């Protein structure tokens, strides 16, 4: 069995107001060409299919055309899961009848406990979920109340989920997992690699490789570079097919592409297949004199790429119409920043709101108003309210 592993399409993404749909369509054409040339038996999309929970009309139309090309025109199975950017309930529409054309789509935790059975492997599809989803699910399964209330972190939830998945293992088949989380080596390490929310993976709530030891291969989504893969042989991030921000434009994040994963009775192997950007994103960080020096800028792909430029040692009082001057030289500039001589930048910023779990968000708001953290009783009340709200969705 041969599968193409891709992830983090983020259909509908923009870059500082510039639509990336044309770039995403161009990347998809290459993905499709690779799939056909390699004669794959299916395509895996490991989460973050859309860029937002309520995608635009153009994004929906674009994804619909892509899925039809794969599944209807070329009759290839699709194994797709929801990521943290996807609206799980909205994306879930039609999943039961889509499965009749071999378009398998899991967006809710409850759906993860029915693996896809092939002659060679069991494919487990575990979408992104948070601890509240797990509390709701296990409460419905009749787990004792005290054990449900003990689910506070993603590690608490994942340990329960993986224990239940392992009960479904067929010892005569390869076990493949598709999921969408931050996974790091077991060692307490901080990887300086990019995700869609932060440049410090170690700053996120992470899972560790040892939790997935009983799977033969894990296809990951969530981190946008394959260089973040926590186990080069057994656990792989596909990375995003398009560069989405300046961090991904840096040289060490070059190399967008997909993995071709071959599963046999004896082994699982993979081969990386590169994707060439239609319009590259180039990040430059230089002082003003360097940026306007022909000896420097003539070495750049002028009028062929998008540029994200940071002007260092910048004296604002000496320069006017900086963007206009640079655009005359470089063409499209999607981002322009300055580092003044008198200031320095601090990359250790406070956690973004979209990185906080719902209970953390409530606690942070409570602290900002009262100066105190939630008490144990208050925290339990918040937990129960959040569970009740999730049930109503």
Token pair, residue 144, equals 């004792």
């290839």: which residue's tokens?
A: 76
| In contact, 201 and 220? CB cutoff 8 Å | no
Residue 337 is predicted with a pLDDT of 87
Q: Name the strand (E) or helix (H) holding 31.
A: helix 21-37
Residue 299 is predicted with a pLDDT of 93
∠ CA 75-274-31, nearest 5°, is 20
Q: How far is CA 264 from CA 44, 53, 174, in A?
A: 17, 37, 8
> What is the per-residue burial (b if ≥16 Cβ within 10 Å, else e) of 225-243?
bbbbbbeeebbbbbbbbbb
| In contact, 334 and 245? CB cutoff 8 Å | no
Nearest CA among 335, 342, 337 for reference residue 313: 342
Residue 250 is predicted with a pLDDT of 67
pLDDT, tens digit, 9 for 90 and up, residues 303-312 = 889 999 999 8
Assign domain 2-274 to its CATH architecture.
4-Layer Sandwich (3.60)
Q: Name the strand (E) or helix (H) holding 333.
A: strand 333-340
**What's phi and psi for 52, nearest 5 deg?**
-145, 160
Number of neighbouring beta carbons within 10 Å of residue 378 = 14
d(CA 125, CA 107): 9
Query: pLDDT digit of tens for each residue in the chain (393 aa)?
Result: 999 999 999 999 998 888 999 999 999 999 999 999 999 999 999 999 999 999 999 999 999 999 999 999 999 999 999 999 999 888 888 888 888 899 999 999 999 999 999 988 999 999 999 999 999 999 999 999 999 989 988 999 999 999 999 999 999 999 999 999 999 887 544 444 444 444 333 334 578 999 999 999 999 999 998 888 888 889 999 999 998 887 777 655 567 999 999 998 888 899 999 999 888 888 899 999 999 999 999 999 998 899 999 998 877 666 668 888 899 999 989 888 888 655 444 444 444 555 567 777 887 887 776 767 888 878 778 777 877 766 555
Residue 190 is predicted with a pLDDT of 46
Look up the pTM and report it: 0.81
Helix axes 376-392, 131-140, angle to 10 degrees: 70
Residue 227 is predicted with a pLDDT of 85
| In contact, 287 and 293? CB cutoff 8 Å | no
Residue 91 is predicted with a pLDDT of 87
Token pair, residue 4, equals 């193409």
Q: Which region, left, alpha or beta, applies to residue 341 given φ > 0 means left and ψ of -120 to 50 means alpha?
A: alpha
Residue 50 is predicted with a pLDDT of 94
Residue 352 is predicted with a pLDDT of 55
Number of neighbouring beta carbons within 10 Å of residue 28 = 22
pLDDT, tens digit, 9 for 90 and up, residues 204-254 = 457 899 999 999 999 999 999 888 888 888 999 999 999 888 777 765 556
Domain positions in the chain: 2-274, 281-340, 356-392
**Residues in a beta bridge with 236:** 219
Residue 391 is predicted with a pLDDT of 59
């Amino acid at each position: 069995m041969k599968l193409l592993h891709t992830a983090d399409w983020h259909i509908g993404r923009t870059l500082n107001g510039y639509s990336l749909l044309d770039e995403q369509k161009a990347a998809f054409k290459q993905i499709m060409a690779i799939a056909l040339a390699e004669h794959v038996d299916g395509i895996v999309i490991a989460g973050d299919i859309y860029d937002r929970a309520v995608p635009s009309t153009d994004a929906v139309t674009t994804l619909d055309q892509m899925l039809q090309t794969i599944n209807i025109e070329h009759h290839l199975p699709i194994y797709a899961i929801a990521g943290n950017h996807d609206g799980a309930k909205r994306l879930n529409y039609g999943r039961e009848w889509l499965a009749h054309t071999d378009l398998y789509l899991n967006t809710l935790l409850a759906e993860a406990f029915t693996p896809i059975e092939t002659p060679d492997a069991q494919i487990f599809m575990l979408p992104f979920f948070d601890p509240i989803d797990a509390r709701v699910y296990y409460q419905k399964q009749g787990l004792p109340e005290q054990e449900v209330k003990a689910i506070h972190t993603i590690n608490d939830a994942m340990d329960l989920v993986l224990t239940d998945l392992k009960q479904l293992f067929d010892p005569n088949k390869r076990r493949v997992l598709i999921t969408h989380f931050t996974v790091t080596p077991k060692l307490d390490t901080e990887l300086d690699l990019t995700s869609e929310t932060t440049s410090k993976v170690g700053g996120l709530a992470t899972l560790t490789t040892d939790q997935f030891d009983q799977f033969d291969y894990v296809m990951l989504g969530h981190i946008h570079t394959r260089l973040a893969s926590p186990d080069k042989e057994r656990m792989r991030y596909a990375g995003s097919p398009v560069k989405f921000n300046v961090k991904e434009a840096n040289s060490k994040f070059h190399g967008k592409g997909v993995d071709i994963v071959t599963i046999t009775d004896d082994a699982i192997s993979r081969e990386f297949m590169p994707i060439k950007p239609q319009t590259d994103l180039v990040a430059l960080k230089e002082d003003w004199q360097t940026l306007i020096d022909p000896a420097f800028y003539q070495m750049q792909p002028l009028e062929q790429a998008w540029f994200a430029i940071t002007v260092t040692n910048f004296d604002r009082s000496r320069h006017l119409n900086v963007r206009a001057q640079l655009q005359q030289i470089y063409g499209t500039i999607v981002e322009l920043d300055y580092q003044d001589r008198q200031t320095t930048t601090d990359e250790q910023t406070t956690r973004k709101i979209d990185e906080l779990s719902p209970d953390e968000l409530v606690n942070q708001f409570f602290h900002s108003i009262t100066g105190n953290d939630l008490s144990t009783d208050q925290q339990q009340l918040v937990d129960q309210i959040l569970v009740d709200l999730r049930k109503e969705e």
